[in-house]
Structure 1
């Protein structure tokens, strides 16, 4: 019988995303970056032999599920996004821009965990232990069961885990950690992969929930290799306007629960607090109706939230009128303005259009199309919408109004906050008691129904 020879070959890996190819190429086929593929040396083709199983295979109905039950963190808004709490052995990646409040949130989590569950180890690689202690003093998050260590070596971190024996580990941040067994600077592809793999192995072996802080790039995505997001169990995005106290925690990936939930927090001088009823934060209630405003309802996960769209339309002498947007999808806005001008016969060709949302909320759902169109039409005609009107609907390119999901839930939330009228597309389904429905088939009919034309 002929023997199979082990053929030595060079490997090539992209320094940006970690993708491996069999031969050198100028452009990475995975992330499309130029000049990032590097030779990693010669390696032998692996041969896999049957080994001893680490555990016995059993029928799925006999697998114990108690070890996979989620444990509440004590922070209700975080539990909502996680799907009930932290699962033993889960690895969570919390990403966000610098200064958004990631460390403040995790200190609150550590404090609540120490109060209700047990010991927590907080490892910081970006700050000194004294700086973290000062923040804990300011936010009132001191507890004897919170252990603090300033380390940047993954071996030292694992040594701290052996010594402290925590029931939760927080690492701030994964880009500052390094492994002496791997070449490269901290934050590089190889280092991030090795550090994350080591922490995941410890988490799974001991049933230890681990929370990693991750940096983001200038476009808002998680910094480092893409494989980092694939390795962890949960990816959370912590976002918010630097000039606003409101912070949103979005689930991007979740192996243990819904991946589209949103938690709301308010950043204060004395720490961070959850906001269980955030709808009022995104509205600016007035005694009298003002032109250029429209109220809509978006659904984030299972939570309906009211949002307000504001628009300002002014004449301009410039050959190319300005289209400025804040808190809305600029591409979607351009489409809505084109439909409004073509199908709704609202002249915007020689006018600047400015649109924004209230409270730093970002509205990108198609259900806000109609609210954007009516806010712009209201500003163009200087005629206000009724102050007790809520608008829900998607606008098509031919001007038709399309039904969106969860209309009943949306309007129930609007009725709870005092809105008694709702402009909706046809076949919107049953409406809450006390809500008067205004039904329009297309955008032109909606404008006529609300008398937004002079």
Structure 2
């Protein structure tokens, strides 16, 4: 083994430098270089991966669908794209106490009835995991448990036990004896993730890694960690609320931006079959400033209530605040409203909120935001049973949204009777119980609701 030396590893891109610098020369990020020890064994550590592969024509390669193993939790399977894939590596992150370990323990117990599973805990003792299983009333007799943080011991256990699915809780607690750095350091996280990924690909074991997050909500450790794995999932939700969202940000075996909705109960996480009901407020009577929009999260249509409050500004610079929606678009939409509809808001404070804590990033929310603002400004509720979607352009045109037919069907299923949509999204065949108002300009949409 070569003599170890000191290296400085970038926590953003994973690049290395022989000395400390204020700015990483690889990604130009400031103050991201951290001291680490390089044992100098990289020349042979990945030797099993060095096998030569012949050049083949893409046309002669037989493509086949990868088999999936359902976890028994429908919302979790939806986010994964239908279930776990053999040999895949899944990384799931989220705030402390949000339910990552609970969800994966429930999934392993369900999977243990069909395949062999292993739960590796590095943060809790075996007794603590057993207490959680008992509290959740899980019949966990078929789940093998290993309390270990040394990478080499974990890999030996994976070789001997050969489980179909293994959960590592968490990747930041593991360390390799090949490196002298502390667990959780950039070099240790990168090395442990790379070795576990190599084993998953060679043996066909599906490995699920739990990752810590930083104070700004991103996954802790080197950015390369997200590139190594096949799927990246994030747990979202307010700790003061009982609802949790699991969102896919990367998935080599399924759609990205899929959303799974769970409710935290005293018996663990339970999937929510109709998540649209979570994001719709139940008003006793019609209120001004409220508009229901049909959004799309991955392949799932969702109905979300958009609320707006317009009030007289008492300061020279009126406030523009957007919660759960893209804040930079609010000022643009107000300018479009003024230029093309003649509605003045330069002396008004404007606040916009997406109910239920959901985050909407698609531009199809533009029309709903404008109509909610108009409703609050006029202090006049929108028609009962109205659902809206559509992107608004700077020229005042209303652009179509993708998957419009699915949005309309979801609205009709939940009892909405009128849909104000872009003209390009007008369905060719009538949808039972749903009246379609198709418009192509902002002023036409506002005029339709006078």
TM-score computed with the length of structure 2 as normaliser: 0.89
Corresponding position of 1:77: 75
Q: What residue number does 1:108 align with?
A: 106
Question: Could you tell me how far 1:437 is from its partner in structure 2?
Answer: 1.9
Matches within 5 A, 1:125-274: 125-274=122-271
* Counterpart pick for 1:314 among 303, 307, 311: 311
Structure 1 counterpart of 2:91: 93
**TM-score (normalizing by structure 1):** 0.88
Q: How many residues align?
A: 439
In 2: Cα distance, 1:249 partner to 1:39 partner: 33
Residue 6 of structure 1 corresponds to which residue in structure 2? Answer: none
| Alignment match, 2:3 | none
Aligned counterparts of 1:364 and 1:199: Cα–Cα separation in 2: 34
Q: Please, which runs of 5 or more residues in structure 2 have no aligned partner?
A: 1-5
| Greater Cα offset, 12-21 or 152-161 | 12-21
1:360 aligned partner:
357
Contact 2:36–2:181 at 8 Å: present in 1 too?
A: no
Residues 1:72 and 1:56: Cα distance change in structure 2 (over 3 Å):
farther
| Post-superposition CA distance 1:212-271 (Å, at most 9, x none) | 001122332222111111111111122112222222222211122222322221111210
Number of the residue aligned with 2:449? 450
- 1:295-322 alpha-carbon deviations (Å, 9 max, x no partner): 0101111111111001112223222222
Q: Are the equivalent residues in 2 in contact too, given 1:288–1:387 (CA < 8 A)?
A: no
What CA deviation, in whole Å up to 9, does each residue of 1:34-68 have, x standing for no partner? 35457988989989x9x9957888888686958x4
SS in 1 for 2:188: helix
Equivalent residue for 1:391?
A: 388
Residue equivalent to 1:7: none
TM alignment of 1:26-45, pairs within 5 A: 26-37=22-33
CA pair 288-119 structure 1, distance change in 2 beyond 3 A: same
* C-alpha distance after superposition, 1:325-370 (max 9, x if no partner): 2211111223222322333333322322222122222122111111
Output the CA distance in 2 between the equivalents of 1:15 and 1:362: 27
More displaced 10-residue stretch of structure 1: 372-381 or 148-157: 148-157
Q: Does the Cα contact within 8 Å between 1:246 and 1:360 map onto a contact in 2?
A: no
CA deviation map 1:4-30 (0-9, x unaligned):
xxxxxx987535431246998642244
- Which residue of structure 2 aligns with residue 3 of structure 1? none
Q: Unmatched 5+ residue regions in structure 1?
A: 1-9
**What does residue 438 of structure 2 align with?**
439
**SS of structure 1 residue aligned to 2:198:** helix
Q: Tell me how far apart the structure 2 counterparts of residues 52 and 97 of structure 1 sit (CA, whole Å).
A: 38
Q: What pairs with 1:255-334 in structure 2 (closer than 5 Å)?
A: 255-286=252-283, 288-334=285-331
CA RMSD of aligned residues (A): 3.0
What does 1:372-387 align with in structure 2 at a 5 Å threshold? 372-387=369-384
Query: 1:381: Cα distance to partner?
Result: 0.8
